[in-house]
Amino acid sequence: MPGAASVVSFVVAFIAMRVLLSRFGHVALDRPNERSLHERPIPRTGGIGVLLAACVALLFGASELWIPIAIALGLAAVSIADDLRGLAAWARLLAHFAAAGVLVWYFLSPMHPLELALLALALAWLTNLYNFMDGSDGLAGGMSVIGFGCYALAAGMDGDLPLATLCGAIAASSAAFLIHNFHPARLFLGDVGSIPLGFLAGALGLIGWTGDHWPLWFPLLVFAPFIGDATVTLARRLARGERIWRAHREHYYQRLVRLGAGHRATALAAYALMLVCAIAAFYARDAAVSVQVAAIGAAALPLAAAALWIDVRWRHERQAAN
């Protein structure tokens, strides 16, 4: 019952957000610093409400997918421990790689060990990049609504009700969060939400692939705006020999906000790119290979154009400032 699960998840998440704001608004505040984009302390507990509401799907026919949910909750627990006591970067990464390894081994074995390792590495990267992109009002929430909504629609049309139910519940709970996260944001996902959502974006994408609901490139294209921004930014920082684990303000979305677009316009522009990628992925998932290649290329063009425009504007602004 994907529809019922989505409605209940939205209601549960909305109530959870109100409780988090009214009773725990002083807990786990994300305080402004030289690397952030906001100007006042904002609670980073919204992910708790999203995950709790997404678990509703288990009561509406998605119980066979309890393993990715259980792993996501485990990652949330690690993130809470990091917020409260502070964990070393290696300890957090070890947990992310362990979660990816367990998921890939459970759902994709038997497969060549090298293939399993590459897929686990990709899943661990997606787990982390979602956290990197949760720095501007409305961005991560909108990506979750569009991305998991696309998963739900594709799985539902193929008759996989458990997968459609779970993805629909995540999209609906993310929509309730987005109401409180769109500019001006009153809540952030925090690591407790962004890390598990990144994991679920990759994990459910792989599960849909093993169920033959979509090709392997489908999840990559659906979440391409996040994957592209985070991957290109990381590659540039690596090339410059910078400490990639340190917080910064060099992502494309961060630079766009700093160029004067602001949170609202940046989010709306990102939604447009997300929708282009999701529609292209959905349209081409069952098409001929030539159509798939054309759709991927057509979706990549606006992403590349947006990145190039921001690069040029950023370089011009920096030169003018100097």
Per-residue three-class SS string for the chain: CHHHHHHHHHHHHHHHHHHHHHHHCCCCEECCCCCCCCCCCEECCHHHHHHHHHHHHHHHCCHHHHHHHHHHHHHHHHHHHHHHHCCCHHHHHHHHHHHHHHHHHHHHCCCCHHHHHHHHHHHHHHHHHHHHCCCCCCHHHHHHHHHHHHHHHHHHHCCCHHHHHHHHHHHHHHHHHHHHHCCCCCCCCCHHHHHHHHHHHHHHHHHHHHCCCCCCHHHHHHCHHHHHHHHHHHHHHHHCCCCCCCCCCCCHHHHHHHHHHHHHHHHHHHHHHHHHHHHHHHHHCCCCHHHHHHHHHHHHHHHHHHHHHHHHHHHHHHHHHC
Q: What is the pLDDT of residue 124?
A: 94
State pLDDT tens for residues 211-229. Answer: 999 999 999 999 999 999 9
pLDDT for the residue numbered 206: 96
Gap between the Cα atoms of 129 and 100, Å rounded: 14
> In this predicted model, what pLDDT tens digit does every residue of 56-88 receive, in sequence order?
999 998 889 999 999 999 999 998 887 767 777
For residues 46 and 21, is the Cβ–Cβ distance under 8 A? Answer: no
Task: Give the integer Cα–Cα distance in Å for 139 and 264.
Answer: 9
Are the C-beta atoms of residues 78 and 95 closer than 8 Å to each other? yes
What is the distance between the alpha carbons of residues 206 and 219, in angstroms, rounded to a whole number?
A: 8
Asked whether the predicted pLDDT for residue 157 surpasses 80, the reply is yes
Contacts for 265 with CB less than 8 Å, ≥ 6 apart:
none
Cα 164 to Cα 57: distance, rounded to the nearest angstrom: 10
Integer Cα distance of 88 and 105 in angstroms: 26
pLDDT in tens, 130-150: 888 888 889 999 999 999 999
Question: Is the peptide bond prior to 219 cis by the omega test (within 30 degrees of 0)?
Answer: no
Average pLDDT value over all residues in the chain: 89
Question: Strand pairing partners for 29?
Answer: 43
- Distance separating alpha carbons of residues 123 and 112, to the nearest angstrom: 17
Q: In the predicted model, is pLDDT for residue 29 greater than 70?
A: no
Tell me which residue has tokens 């522009």. Answer: 269
The answer to whether 87 touches 78, Cβ cutoff 8 Å, is yes
Q: What is the pLDDT of residue 133?
A: 84
Average pLDDT over residues 10-32: 80
Instruction: State yes or no: pLDDT of 293 exceeds 90.
Output: yes
C-alpha count within 13 angstroms, C-beta hemisphere, residue 48: 19
Q: How confident is the model at residue 32 (pLDDT cuts 50, 70, 90)?
A: low
φ, ψ at 187 (rounded to 5°): -145, 145
pLDDT per residue as tens digits for the range 243-257: 766 777 888 898 999
pLDDT of residue 319: 78
